[in-house]
Amino acid sequence: MGVLLQLVIGGILQGGIYALGAFGLSLIFGVLNVLNVAHGDFLVLGGLATYWLYTAFGLSPFLAVALVFPAFGILGMAVERLLIRPIRARTAHEFLAASILVTLGLALAIEDLAAFSLVQPVKGIDYSLAPLRVGSVVISTLRLLSLGVILVLAISLHAFLRRSMAGKAIRAVIQDREGAMLAGINVQAVSRNTLGLGIALSAVAGVFFITIIPVEPHLGIPLTLKYLSIIVLGGIGNLPGTLLGAVILGLAESLVGFWFGAQWSLTVAFVILVAILLLRPKGLLG
């Protein structure tokens, strides 16, 4: 019973981490029509930044969020200005293809630079808190707190998109880009801010990811595939659906990894992706 509870908590936490990055990727695709292949690599960079802040300054992961989020938000805006905006004038089909190639090149560059700069290729942090004991069951306090912070971030993001003017502008561009332009919305600014927000969410996911799983430079593209699986599973642009899809994937990985080995986790994501595309292309809540 204790082992199963630990697996379920770990799976839900892992699903919450995936959800942050997946919804960022969904927002980017909805607003910019960009399939950001490098999205998972920003999770890796967020994890490595957390590792550096922890080892160099003793900063806990929960405090690192306050630095990682704005830093990667600015980095995301720079990516939009330097790499995405110059190819915006192409036709929709050409732009989508060009954006995939550009972000794939960015992903490979990030992975090579990270591998070159790291003395030890695999990084993890030994940050821990006193466990919570409920009878004979021992529950990780770190995982529970991480899950709580992720839930607060998800609720805040939902409120931002529903109630703020900036969030409503993002939703308007997702629904009808040309109509939003005619309504006076600065679509270029919305695109810049959305790419910054999406990349910041992926980096924050990396803050919590490195507390449970070590990161290595070539983890990014497989993570992007998992994000895509979650988006398809939950429905593009659907925050509750993304959370549901991420939790399903996290639980599946946790249970399959325990019984069959962690090397099957990517296979689980691929099987879920194919199954949803065949059985329910619009997603569970699409």
* Partners of 215 in beta bridges: 123
What's the one-letter identity of residue 17?
A: I
Give residue-wise pLDDT tens across range 214-269.
888 888 998 898 888 888 877 766 777 788 888 888 888 888 877 776 677 667 77
- Could you give the residue ranges of the DSSP H alpha helices within 135-214? 141-163, 165-175, 177-182, 187-212
Average pLDDT over residues 15-31: 87
Q: What is the mean pLDDT of residues 49-56?
A: 90
What was the pLDDT predicted at 2?
64
Dihedral sign for Cα atoms in the order 88, 222, 111, 105 = negative
Q: What is the pLDDT of residue 65?
A: 92
Confidence of residue 82 (pLDDT cuts 50, 70, 90): very high
Looking at residue 36, the DSSP 8-state letter turns out to be -
- Gap between the terminal Cα atoms of the chain: 35
| Residue where the block lists tokens 């992706």 | 273
By the 8 A CB rule, do 38 and 104 touch?
Answer: yes
Confidence at residue 99, expressed as pLDDT on a 0 to 100 scale: 92
Paired residues of 138 in beta bridges: 133
Question: Could you tell me which residue, 259 or 43, shows the higher pLDDT?
Answer: 43
Give the residue carrying structure tokens 């090579």. 112
pLDDT digits (tens, 9 = 90+) for 175-224: 888 888 888 899 999 999 999 999 999 999 999 888 888 888 888 998 89
The three-state secondary structure class of 91 is coil
Nearest-angstrom CA–CA distance, 205 and 76? 15
Residue appearing with tokens 């972000």: 103
| Cα gap 83→102, rounded to integer Å | 7
